[in-house]
Chain A
């Protein structure tokens, strides 16, 4: 059976934050968004990046594994839930364990909060609110085969942070030919001085 999941394509993101506005509409966390949209660097570009829970599969949910109270539950279909309020002891282990920086700690409620893939909607075969609202389908919900048929770009669910590698339920959409999202390599590339592959910094269109 085809498993539906999320596909995040930052190249399509227009930074409109419809996903954040939609996420805030959920009755269980009204006014708070579990998805974040960041400007990459407005001093250079209008590029933006949405971040939502990647629902790590291998290793399964580092946030849940470090939870001393077994408060972060995982459904059989691999959706990592937000901390169960009756169990969460507010230790923030999950916040430090997550390689993607997703869980947020609500100091007042002493409770971890994060995306649970709109479990109330997806369990009834509806799309998560963010993917439903997203005007450009930068956040897209469906199964992998459907994605490959309909969309361009390579759906990748392996992310490397130096020596650590995570396979996730949620996919990033990267340029064709990219097998994994190698964060350490990209950081190295960004820090390196402009090489011959980039132009000399001169903007050809300035007349």
Chain B
């Protein structure tokens, strides 16, 4: 056998013999998928809600096929490709479980549900209705989110219902409501391609919303400029025209400084401001309170780069600001989002195709989940629970006297406090994993241990379900139907592809069954998802988030429908604010903002700022993606990113096990030494549980109005394991404390555990 070494010569004679090799086998050109059915649906994961087909064979979901849709164009990220593997996963929960003698043991549905109802009735008789709480989530359909709000208020009569969107989007929601009078991204994803400059603030779009990247690239192919503000050089920052490596927590200072440069350069759209906004004079005065040099000091970004960014942004005819958790997970999250809005309004961009601000909602149904009335202060259709007219309308839809509707309840982050104090005695958790997702999870664990019973509805055994007294198995997304609303405000339809395995049941059936056993069955007569949907449409009619004109058929015919859609002949509203904003006077409101430091900044023995975030292979608390082999093999455990300049004096090298500590706790994990992060910042991904959870370290301080936790900034130290000091550590700088800002500390209960900073 010899190898022909001559074939790399250029222009040599053609020497591959097609004739003797013969034709390719015929079956290579024929896809053999005859026995399969393709079910059109959307992904179970992030807020983009990519369309996909599920391949179904003999009643089982066996694969995925691309599905062309206006916003994802057939693309999928790796999570979307393997999402289908959740359906027949060996870890699925197949039957209800009750904790007996410290162990979760198999039980029948009757036994489990009767136990739940008996306990709830006893608790409510003894301690009042509000002693039972519902903690739900936004990764489930609109129909389920609607049902959970109604279940809490009608079946249980409790005011304490809230959901995990509190940890996700509440800053942006608060800001858009205040500024525009309506909380939704104002433009569809294909509009991104129309922008001339895109300013991405605190969003790792490439890893968190990979499929949205194609629209940013379409804009860049047209010549658009990209500016990224992030303490890390993320995959989107890597090729950006300008990267502003901000020190975590300095967002208002930076955005105000950019606005100041825009004012000084005369790039402000005065006509737009006087015609469409209120409050510009105060905002203008506020941005001049801080000089560029002071901003450089606070943000750690050279003043020249801030000026360059302001000019790149301010000179573009059409400019778009995209923002996400990076600025929202802050004790000043609402201000951070308002600062983005001020910038966009000053440039006259909001309401223009491809211009303005766009929040990137994180969860699959993060948008719909916050409109359906499962939020503490809210009723369906973005109605307010403290507004008498709204209460009357919903009470009428539900067939109750208005007086029976409870009032505003505790936010998700505040519920932990009520549980620890014993004011909430039982909680049903559906579609959430508190032990991974809430900050300072040692306190969360103590609070959950206080509950009797803690009821968890899930399809995999989450870190929270492990602590439960009763676990109820539910269906995954492709075993049920319903609608979700994606990050654009586009309502899409998920379809059922298979039956739930074992005794698992769809969440809405579980809730209806519990309601019947609580003696409130007449308010929950639903036999199909469509019946819930039709009631939901009536309940949202006339509300800000009006779904009344959306039907399943219209969603199919139009490739999704954007709310508000107030009538059946309305096509929906892809672009908002083109003529007017949603405040009564039709004008946007601008708010003057002042930079304030995060609750905790480096000081004493805690010299770093710790921030947390996502990786592309995992989703939220990881309860789903950590079980999907391909995804988990790419990122099976957390790590801490540290800059070489910071690592060198500590003797830390890549792959070393290091101990990261904050005032709350400590964790050991591997180091990744890389210059793609600021030297004063540490980063740890948050998708992991138990001893791998970064939320052992994070600060439970929250934004005072919307109660979102400050996941993105707290003071930390890092040591090589074995070389950590054993003496008492000097605490970090506490700018906001339970004493000077009580509204920011929902977990502070009774005397704090003694000297926690030194216990490790």
Contacts and interface: CB of A to CB of B under 8 A. Distances in A.
Interface residues of B, number: 73
Nearest to B17: A70
A124 B29 contact: yes
A184 interface: no
A118 B634 CA distance: 24
Interface stretch (B8-16, B369-377, B388-396): B8-16
Interface string B630-647: 110010000000000100
Interface in A4-62: 11-18, 20-22, 24-25, 27, 42-48, 58-62
A124 B300 CA distance: 54
A91 interface: yes
A178 interface: no
Contact of A120 (B29, B210, B234): B29
A120 B76 contact: no
Contacts of B207: 14, 16
A168 interface: no
B302 A59 contact: no
B238 A135 contact: no
B679 A133 contact: no
B22 interface: yes
Nearest to A72: B21
B206 A136 contact: yes
B617 to A, nearest CB: 7
Contacts of A150: 221
Nearest to B303: A207
B32 to A, nearest CB: 7
Contacts of B679: 206
A75 B16 contact: no
A17 B206 CA distance: 12
B1 A59 contact: no
B211 interface: yes
A132 B74 contact: yes
B78 interface: yes
Given A14-B616, A74-B21, A165-B8, A135 B76 contact: yes
Interface residues of A, number: 67
A116 interface: yes
Interface in B678-730: 678-679
Contacts of B305: 205
B217 A137 contact: yes
Q: Counting chain B CB atoms within 10 Å of each CB, which of A48, A59, A135 scores highest?
A: A135
A165 B10 contact: yes
A75 B16 CA distance: 12
Q: Counting chain A CB atoms within 10 Å of each CB, which of B23, B634, B645 scores highest?
A: B634
Contact of A24 (B8, B9, B630): B630
B211 to A, nearest CB: 4
B263 to A, nearest CB: 24
A70 B19 CA distance: 11
Q: Counting chain B CB atoms within 10 Å of each CB, which of A73, A164, A205 scores highest?
A: A205
A84 B31 CA distance: 17
5 contacts: A17-B616, A21-B78, A59-B7, A135-B211, A207-B296
Interface of A: 11-18, 20-22, 24-25, 27, 42-48, 58-62, 64-66, 68, 70, 73-76, 81, 84, 91, 93, 96-97, 116, 119-121, 123-124, 127, 129, 132-137, 150-152, 163-166, 203-207
- Shortest beta-carbon contacts, A-B, top 5: A135-B210, A14-B235, A21-B81, A14-B206, A21-B78
